[in-house]
Chain A
Amino acid sequence: MKEVLILGEVKDASLDPRILELLGAGKKLTEASGDKLSVLLMGDRVEDVAEAAASYGPDSVYKIEHPLLERFNADLWLAALEQACAEIKPSILLMSHSFIGMELGPRLAYRLDSRLTTDCIDLTIDSEDGRLLGTKPVSGGNAICVFKCAGQTQMVTVRGNVFPPAESGNAGGAIASINVTIDKSMSRLESLEIVEEDTVALDKANVVISGGAGLGDEDGFEMLEELAEALGKSFGSVMVGCSRMAVDKGWMSSDHQIGLTGTIIAPDIYVAVGISGAIQHLVGMVHSKKIIAINTDPSCNIFKVADYGIVEDFEQVVPALIKRLEEVL
């Protein structure tokens, strides 16, 4: 029987929510084909997580436990995955389009002599030849392309927040251990330090106020922070985000970036200030419930996707807005 394998990521010793989305995607494929669905988990100890994963109804859960796998190390994880795939021989391998998936996917595809389609938003099976079809936005999101997966193991990384998460299912899938032979010498990178930064969880915000190149400098973002504070009194969680240009210029750290290569969000309200609305930015925020844009250029793209627009210099309108909010809200 053919097997659809999911690479599950473990986060703080618990099941990463993305696994549930992959399980949702995997169930969609296997319900149609009758193939086996399984999850692979790696880490130092993953017994608890394996049990949690099993309760969502995959046919089996594999665990690879090894002290060297405690923290993500691409070289070691890759070696372990390569060995596991040689044993399991999955016909399809699903990974998240996460930091881990983005790094392991291409390298594993090379080692398995397979081909990978990244950042998929839909998966189907070709009714004629049974191959996996991966739907992926290309050209920033200007087009939707369906790629046919090649190779013995058909590989995809899957975009987050697209597939509905699996609901807990008929538990009872067997948990099996896979032994791998890895040692320190396989790691060609030496980790000198990991610096934790205060990263913002933009996907948890109700309102996101984003700034772009149009803010002109870092001070512009202070103004947005003030605006966020004024709105915070009525809207709960209000956070400041930005376009890539603001990251390029060093005004904001990259965890604030919204878009194709940043975070993809859909808050209740999105306010874009001094952002032109390049497609790579739009794909990150276009599903927001209400979109408000402030920009000096009436013809810029951002107004095409906005519900409300203000054509004005932000330095004129944002202070007036803060003042008014403080009076009214």
Chain B
Amino acid sequence: MTELNIIICVKQIPDPEAPLSDVSIDAENLEVVVDAPQVISPFDENALEAAIQLKEELDGKVTVLSMGKKLSDSVLRKALAAGADELILLEDNGFEKLDSHSTATVLAAAIKKIGSFDLVLAGRQAGDWDSGQVGLILGEMLGLPCISLAREITVEDGSVIVKKTVPEGYERVKAKLPALITVSNEVGELRYISRTRMLKMMRGGDIPAWTAEEIGVSDDAIEKMNIASLTTPPDMTRDCQFLEGSPDQQAAALVDVFVSLR
């Protein structure tokens, strides 16, 4: 078979694992303010690992697409350092807080501009708004077979075979290429990237950035999320009683707790 052409959609977000104390709510501007560095959304890192493994096995090309108002190429170049071949930013003043449908519209337009591909990968859900929609809507827009919640992906003879999570365990499904797959964490963590490799990529060449106009997305084709309000969740904190002493003493104190709860 000829080489495999994979397009993967990667979202840049503030670190979703930042401690609670670094997160605050700006209710007026309807924004979650996270005092933490930007990262690649975790499930997109899983998808990236899956893409790179496929490429290593079968040869081909991995193209990373990321859409936003202002993207940081130092965050996204990590994808190149991990082994992706090309990074394309979709950057425009209008590409901010788009709803899932509009995000998919922009990604679909960019994918059409790229032209040929065998697989489109997305994460199962982004770690900022936890929507879990863009991948599947994108698949519909592109008219592709859609496979969700992949834990293992293999390609053979022009078809993709995916182990996908289902309530009773997993299902192995097969679809003809090209196809869209949303990826879950079971595919495995993104590989370790050495500092030297990362630094080398940082100094690498320019990263292309396409505007809305360049991919033919007009203002009225995209809409912002329609948010009525954004508030702090109910307080979850409890008064923690620490059990002190040696491990044996701690264990004994905890057993007393269990006995009292019995």
Contacts and interface: CB of A to CB of B under 8 A. Distances in A.
A149 B225 CA distance: 10
A116 interface: yes
Interface stretch (A44-52, A53-61, A304-312): A304-312
B184 A189 contact: no
B240 A234 contact: no
Interface in A80-125: 98-99, 102-103, 105-107, 109-111, 115-116, 118-119
A178 interface: no
Contact of B171 (A194, A286, A306, A307): A194
A234 B262 contact: yes
Contacts of B188: 248, 250
A328 B254 CA distance: 12
Contact of A145 (B104, B141, B230): B230
B205 to A, nearest CB: 32
B190 to A, nearest CB: 10
B20 A309 contact: no
B169 A292 contact: no
Given A141-B233, A320-B247, A325 B140 contact: no
A189 B129 contact: no
Nearest to B99: A115
A190 interface: yes
Interface in B144-169: 145-149, 151, 161, 165-169
A301 B137 CA distance: 35
A254 B152 CA distance: 13
Contacts of B186: 247-248, 254
B28 interface: no
Contacts of B184: 254, 261
B238 A307 contact: yes
Contact of A329 (B30, B239, B259): B259
A303 B262 contact: no
B125 interface: yes
Contacts of B72: none
Interface stretch (A28-36, A169-177, A195-203): A195-203
A329 B99 contact: no
A309 B240 contact: yes
A188 interface: yes
Contacts of A235: 258, 262
B226 A148 contact: yes
A301 B252 contact: no
Interface string A132-157: 01001111111111111110000000
Given A106-B132, A317-B250, A286 B174 contact: no
Given A231-B258, A308-B241, A321-B254, A189 B230 contact: no
B255 interface: yes
Contacts, number: 254
Given A107-B139, A197-B170, A309-B241, A188 B145 contact: yes
Given A126-B228, A143-B231, A325 B261 contact: no
Interface in B216-253: 223, 225-233, 236-243, 247-248, 250-252
Is the contact region of chain A dominated by helix, strand, or loop, or is it mixed? mixed
Given A146-B227, A309-B243, A111 B140 contact: yes
Given A110-B101, A118-B131, A244-B185, A143 B32 contact: yes
Interface string B171-186: 1111110000000111
A321 B255 contact: yes
B254 A310 contact: yes
Given A248-B185, A309-B240, A137 B233 contact: yes
B169 A105 contact: no
Given A148-B228, A309-B242, A316 B16 contact: no
A243 to B, nearest CB: 11
Contacts of B176: 188
Interface stretch (A160-168, A215-223, A274-282): A274-282
Given A143-B231, A195-B172, A103 B238 contact: no
Interface in B109-126: 124-125
A306 B248 CA distance: 21
B171 A195 contact: yes
Contacts of A204: none
Given A254-B184, A316-B247, A146 B255 contact: no
Contacts of B32: 138-139, 142-143
A66 interface: no
Contact of B140 (A110, A115, A189, A323): A110
A139 B168 CA distance: 29
A135 to B, nearest CB: 9
Nearest to A100: B167
Q: Nearest 7 CB-CB pairs, A to B?
A: A197-B169, A320-B251, A188-B145, A106-B133, A316-B247, A106-B136, A192-B172
5 contacts: A146-B230, A147-B225, A196-B169, A269-B258, A303-B242
Interface of A: 72, 74-75, 98-99, 102-103, 105-107, 109-111, 115-116, 118-119, 126, 133, 136-150, 188-197, 199, 231, 234-235, 244, 247-250, 254, 260-261, 268-269, 278-280, 282, 286, 290-293, 298, 301, 303-313, 316-317, 320-321, 323-325, 328-329
